[in-house]
Amino acid sequence: MHTQSLFTFSSILDNDFYKFTMQQGVIRLFPGAKAKYRFINRGDHSFPPGFADVLRAAVQQMVNLRLTREEKSFLQVTCSYLNPVYLDFLEGYRYQPEEVQINQQGDQLEVTIEGFWYRTILWEVPLMSLICELFYKMNNVVRVSDEEIIERTRLKIENYRDLGVTIADFGTRRRYAYSVHRLVLKALCEFGTGAFIGTSNVHMAMLHQTKPIGTHAHEWFMFHAARYGFKMANAMGLEHWVEVYRGDLGIALSDTYTTDVFLKQFDKMFSKLFDGVRHDSAEPKAFADKVIEHYKRMGIDPKTKTIIFSDGLNYDKVADIAEYCRNKIGMSFGVGTNLTNDAGPKPMNIVIKLSAAQPQDGEWTEVVKLSDEHGKYTGSEHLIKLSKVILGIDDY
């Protein structure tokens, strides 16, 4: 199979926005830190023979990606909080394929990433996108037509508008293909006036002159646990985010070490400084209740704050959440796979997660994620148990 025809990355900005915002934070605060990431095949997908070779060749081609002057100008105009030093750095950034190790044992794929955190942080999303796209192509899977993709997206965004909610595209990492993503964004922009507010994909945001959306991911807090300990991870992660962004990008991710632990550390200062929180695991209405009650305890009107819901959403889930939260708290929705991988075949269930971190002049330290949903835990069983003891988390 000819690898060149399978490769679809045309821009270094074809990545989620929070990767760039975190990268700026890492360069400023942790330039000497190193990181390891690991591919997790949650859906137990079987990969065809030769998949690792094709993926490796596609990764090798990513050395050719670089920030263009036009792209740099877009970031300067659209994202004033990305400083000139960082944008100059990004202009000189090149992917280094030797940071990525790809192997295949039978039908199982192994992918690991290792290197300086400020460099390796950009690999996760494009790698996942490549794995998905190549998986469908190498299995000769047939998708629905371009017209059907556009029609499905039109119906979704018009239904969301009828609900009176705002929607962002969060679907880069598990999209069916780059071409499908382009079609989805075309339809969202054309038919989504009043409902569609932007995309997590910076390249797509530039192409369609819409807003790139995102703040930080679990790895931000996971690194802080390696550097400062589990008990200080949330507070130090938030503190450093404020130090870098001074009030911009004010949606805090709440479930790296369970929402209950997060809210204990999300004190009045943070609750007032941040515009809201993002929901990414477990039952969304129960989460909303916790967050609303938290703001009330802090003497803050929940209606002045926002929850961004982003966990495996489709229309029925969004409608249920919207009905429950309306007039209680602000809300918006990041819809991912249901937008960019509703093309016929079953979507893949894969992730790439930070597995270990080495703070500057420190030792390699394993990291874990303790989502509100046990199925989303990552890390060794031993460290998961230890972190629960340290954080006082009971099994539930």
| Separation CA 188–CA 4 (nearest Å) | 30
Q: Give the pLDDT confidence score for residue 2 in this predicted structure.
A: 41
> ∠ at Cα 127 (123, 129), nearest 5°?
130
Record the tokens describing residue 53, joined without a space: 């070779």
Choose among 300, 302, 296: nearest CA to 324. 302
Q: Give the pLDDT confidence score for residue 4 in this predicted structure.
A: 43
Which parts of the chain have pLDDT scores under 70?
Answer: 1-8, 395-396
Q: Give the pLDDT confidence score for residue 313 in this predicted structure.
A: 96
| Separation CA 93–CA 49 (nearest Å) | 33
DSSP 99: G
> What CATH topology corresponds to 4-142+348-391?
nicotinate phosphoribosyltransferase (3.20.140)
Give the pLDDT confidence of 108-131 residue by residue, as tens digits: 999 999 999 999 999 999 999 999
- Is the distance from CB of 222 to CB of 234 less than 8 angstroms? no
| Separation CA 54–CA 32 (nearest Å) | 32
Record the tokens describing residue 10, joined without a space: 């045309």
**Residue 200 phi/psi, 5° resolution?**
-75, -15
Q: Superfamily for 146-340?
A: nicotinate phosphoribosyltransferase (3.20.140.10)
- Antiparallel, parallel or unpaired: β 330-335 and 306-309: parallel
Q: Give the pLDDT confidence score for residue 275 in this predicted structure.
A: 98
Give the pLDDT confidence of 224-249 residue by residue, as tens digits: 999 999 999 999 999 999 999 999 99
| Separation CA 385–CA 308 (nearest Å) | 29
Residues with Cβ within 8 Å of 297's Cβ and at least 6 positions away in sequence, in order, are none
pTM for this one? 0.96
Q: Which residue has the tokens 């065809």?
A: 48
- Three-class secondary structure of residue 293 per DSSP: helix
Q: Give the pLDDT confidence score for residue 47 in this predicted structure.
A: 98
Record the tokens describing residue 85, joined without a space: 């030093």
Helix crossing, 84-92 with 17-29: angle to 10°? 110
| 246 burial via Cβ count (<10 Å: 0-12, 13-18, 19+) | exposed
| Separation CA 76–CA 20 (nearest Å) | 13
- Is the distance from CB of 371 to CB of 204 less than 8 angstroms? no
| Separation CA 181–CA 166 (nearest Å) | 19
Q: Find the distance separating the first CA and the last CA of the chain, reported in whole Å.
A: 48
Neighbour-count burial for 332-360, b at 16+ CB within 10 Å, e otherwise: bbbbbbbbbbbbeeebbebbbbbbbbbbe
Per the rule left: phi > 0, alpha: psi between -120 and 50, beta: everything else, 130 is alpha
Q: For the chain, where do the domains classified as CATH 3.20.140.10 start and end?
A: 4-142+348-391, 146-340
- Is the distance from CB of 58 to CB of 138 less than 8 angstroms? no
Choose among 303, 302, 320: nearest CA to 311. 320
| 150 burial via Cβ count (<10 Å: 0-12, 13-18, 19+) | middle
- Three-class secondary structure of residue 35 per DSSP: strand
Residue 300 is which amino acid?
I
Residues with Cβ within 8 Å of 301's Cβ and at least 6 positions away in sequence, in order, are 295
Q: Give the pLDDT confidence score for residue 100 in this predicted structure.
A: 98
Q: Give the pLDDT confidence score for residue 16 in this predicted structure.
A: 98
| Alpha helical stretches, state H, the chain | 17-29, 51-61, 69-78, 84-92, 117-120, 124-138, 146-163, 178-191, 202-207, 218-228, 230-245, 259-265, 268-273, 284-297, 315-325, 337-340, 381-391
**Residue 153 phi/psi, 5° resolution?**
-65, -40
